[in-house]
Structure 1
Amino acid sequence: MSSRILSTNVIGIDDFMRDPAHVLSQAQGGTVAVFAHNAPAFYALTPARLATLLELEARLSRPSSDVSLDAQFFEEPAAAPVNVPMGKFAMYAGWQPDADFQRLAALWGIGLSQPVTPEELASFVAYWQAEGKVFHHVQWQQKLARSVLMNRNSQGGAPKRDVNAISEPDNQIPPGFRG
């Protein structure tokens, strides 16, 4: 078995045990690799070398600048995990896309300016429940993103007209009308 030796000073464990203080005083750099059975068993350090290494570690752990960045800008928002079946599954009532659905849709090239409304989600689930097709969770989310985008674009951004609404008659007479 090969191993990397991190010191130029190497000694057997029996020789080290006879006079450890003398071995360390003779070590260049204050480090000795102690071998047992032709492999490094441990490293022995002088107090001066240990102090140097600890000071170096402390210096490296301190920032080199007095500017500190707020950790809140680097944390991902903790979203509650969505419980989804493994593998392919048929659409079911209560299915929900992931909490970061809008970001995922953008990664798929579908920019949704607003989150999916409960009505849009209910319409999608009802349609695909009746179809009985099976897809993976990510595929369902991609279908939802495309469906929402197509529905929103087909309306031209205007709210959908209520077919049950009764229109108001126009009481003005157009110019030039003879009646």
Structure 2
Amino acid sequence: MDPVQPATSAGLLVVPALVGCLVALTLGIYGRLHSPTGVAVDIAGFSSPGTVKAWLASAAVVFALVQVGSSLVMYGKVPWIAAPSWIGVLHRWSGRIAFILTVPVVVHCLYALGFQTYNVRVLVHSIAGCLFFGTFTVKMLSLTRRGMPGWVLPLLGGAVFALLVLLWFTSAFWFFSVFGFRR
């Protein structure tokens, strides 16, 4: 009788990937089936929900840039900078803050606007939003799994960052280009 073989290291990605797909699909289906309300998030001091979203998304991208930079330093990819003892804390907290900044934005997008397809920019934005939260879920679930291949977290982190930047370009950059920089 053969002993039970341990799961391959790449096989450890199966459950996180399935959960991430479920998250992305759920957001897309909810966004498409839900009747948009027009307004969901409005913060005092901002002229409109659009400005709130644009500025929160921009701040999230800034913190995501800190994530990328701190991960490069943490993993020795910037040879002229020795990783300080606090770099891991910076990395974790910049990621948490970036994610927290995206929550009111996605709530507004899903509740007030829904999954829209009326032009290419909006369709790309809707798809990227679902993929962002699905990929983020896969990354977070992969963090807790021992024996994961070394390429997994950099790949997932890069995908999360790329999707966030794509979301920013298809929303905040567009908003600032059309309406200007205002509060």
TM-score by length of 1: 0.22
Please state which structure has a larger fraction of its residues in helix. Answer: 2
Counting strand residues as a fraction of each chain, which structure ranks higher?
1
Larger RCO (CA within 8 A; separation ≥ 6): 2
